[in-house]
Amino acid sequence: MTSAVYPLARNRLLIACLLGVWAAAIAVAPSLALKFALAAPAMLLPLSIWALEAPGRWISCFFAAALLLPPLPIAWGDTGPHPSLWFAALGLAAGVFGVHRWSVPLSGLNGALLAVFLAFLVSIAPAAFYSGAAVAAGSLIRVGLFAIGVYVFFYTAHGPGTGSDPWASLRTLYWVAVVAALFACVDFYFQLPAPAGYGAQYVWLDSSVYRRAQGLFYEASTLGNFCAFFLVMIAVSVARPRAETPVSRPALALGGAVFLAAMVMSYSRSSVLNVLTALAALAWLNRKRIRLLRLGAILIPGLAATVFLIWNLFPQFVEPYWLRLSASAEYLTTATEGVFSGRIASWRILINWIAAHPWQAWIGLGYKTLPYSDYLGAPVVGDNMYLTTMVETGVLGLASVLWLCIAILRSAARAAQAADPTRAFLGAWILCFWSGQMVQMFSGDLLTYWRVLPLYFWVLALAVRR
């Protein structure tokens, strides 16, 4: 009895000593970043255990971290590693633990997602050949980031996440998104210190030069695209009976004001085009006279009131944005290069390369190599998902992206006509948004927005799963 007690006592003493040393190390750490790094395991361990106790929890944790946390201040890559990657790793573990619950049928949408992923992955070989091992390694990491969204889709639609309650998750996600957009507004107004990495995007106002609103994302276009996603959700909610939407009308009004303000402060014009296209798709979806009149009677006055409120609260920010939009429409044909912010020159370089190297364009130069490689003479930011996909991943890559877009629209349209109100709501949401997304892809590499793309694929998975 005595011999059994003493080893236990010694182990407890050893654990207590180790915990004391750990606490002392945190206390004497010279910087706040080091203190946080040392204390992180104490916070992550119980949270990780909780996240793995139910199949869908890691997805909620991933979204919360992706939308509300900045990258870690570590000099890795463009922005440093992001805390949400930890929960993505937990998701892989959850998929392994629940391997018996996977059932992936053959379908056009499933095939299109896998085809895009494989096209991006195969392009790593030409990336190494044309641009070297370092650029190819970066491309491989970016393929892995894109794969997070693909995995979230399959896990939710055909894996252990099929039993989660979408309504409760959507309510939580909505408020997380509102907080993220609200922080973007505060960040822009007070010009808070930028996170570990950010795009150098500025707007020149009479009072000063401001960094465009980006919130906790890498650059302003991601914030604008993210706000467009939830503005479309609000519009779809307005078009449906109150009992068939996850959020109340007052909550929709509050969130709509925040998302619209954040999109304005991001100064993203293509995101406005995204929303307008989505609204046109929503009007077509509700083309029966009574439903269309109901949609217009609620949405138009609400939008006008929100714009009026934002204009009066932040006139120094809204007026330049309106001038930017109106100038874009006025000078679209006479000053096209300026309207597209230099994109035409980049597109011309890529089109000329395709014309000069048609056979080489069949296999591409490697996924996401253009901004980091000097193979074309200098790094090129294409800002056109279709054109950059063609140059980087070849004809098969472009074909797979087009296949994916068509498959998403077809699957979402079927879900929008479902008898189940939840599926119908989610299907209409993703159908309208992805219609706008396909238009916005002409001016942005939207499939590289890895922190918000899993969110879009998650809603798609909820809409199409049985």
Task: Tell me the whole-structure pTM to 2 decimals.
Answer: 0.87
Segment 455-464, tens digit of pLDDT: 999 999 999 9
pLDDT range class, residue 11, cuts 50, 70, 90 = low
Residue 33 pLDDT more than 70?
no
* Mean pLDDT, range 92-112, rounded to an integer: 91
Residue 238 pLDDT more than 90?
no
Residue 167 pLDDT more than 90?
no
pLDDT range class, residue 287, cuts 50, 70, 90 = confident
Q: What is the pLDDT of residue 299?
A: 61
Residue 239 pLDDT more than 50?
yes
Among 278-287, 433-442, 451-460, whose mean pLDDT is lowest? Answer: 278-287
Residue 434 pLDDT more than 60?
yes
* Mean pLDDT, range 243-266, rounded to an integer: 90
DSSP for 65-77 reads HHHH-PPPSS-ST
Residue 331 pLDDT more than 60?
no
Among 149-158, 238-247, 316-325, whose mean pLDDT is lowest? Answer: 316-325
DSSP for 213-227 reads P-TTSSSHHHHHHHH
* Mean pLDDT, range 412-426, rounded to an integer: 94
pLDDT range class, residue 328, cuts 50, 70, 90 = low
Residue 155 pLDDT more than 80?
yes
DSSP state, residue 375? T
Q: What is the pLDDT of residue 327?
A: 56
Q: Are 344 and 337 in contact (CB under 8 A)?
A: yes
Among 20-34, 351-365, 381-395, 401-415, whose mean pLDDT is lowest? Answer: 20-34
Q: Which residue has the higher pLDDT, 432 or 39?
A: 432
Residue 39 pLDDT more than 90?
no
The domain ranges of the chain are 108-162+344-466, 165-330
Q: Which residue has the higher pLDDT, 76 or 439?
A: 439
Q: Which residues contact 39 (CB under 8 A, 6 or more apart)?
A: 26
pLDDT range class, residue 293, cuts 50, 70, 90 = low
Residue 389 pLDDT more than 50?
yes
- Buried-exposed string 192-212: b where 16+ CB fall within 10 A, e elsewhere: eeebbbbbebebeeeeeebbb
Question: What distance lies between CA 421 and its chain's CA centroid?
Answer: 26
* Mean pLDDT, range 219-246, rounded to an integer: 92
Of the chain, the percentage scoring pLDDT greater than 70 comes to 78
Q: What is the pLDDT of residue 207?
A: 67
Q: Which residue has the higher pLDDT, 210 or 177?
A: 177
Q: Which residue has the higher pLDDT, 294 or 388?
A: 388
Q: What is the pLDDT of residue 295?
A: 59
Nearest to 349 by CA among 325, 376, 369: 376
Q: What is the pLDDT of residue 45?
A: 77
Of the chain, the percentage scoring pLDDT greater than 90 comes to 47
Strand duo 209-211 + 202-204: pairing: antiparallel
Mean pLDDT of the chain: 84
Among 94-108, 313-327, 431-445, 448-462, whose mean pLDDT is lowest? Answer: 313-327
* Mean pLDDT, range 121-131, rounded to an integer: 95
Q: Alpha-carbon distance 121 to 393, whole Å?
A: 9
pLDDT range class, residue 89, cuts 50, 70, 90 = very high
DSSP for 408-447 reads HHHHHHHHHT-SSHHHHHHHHHHHHHHHHHHHHGGGS-GG
Q: Are 63 and 455 in contact (CB under 8 A)?
A: yes
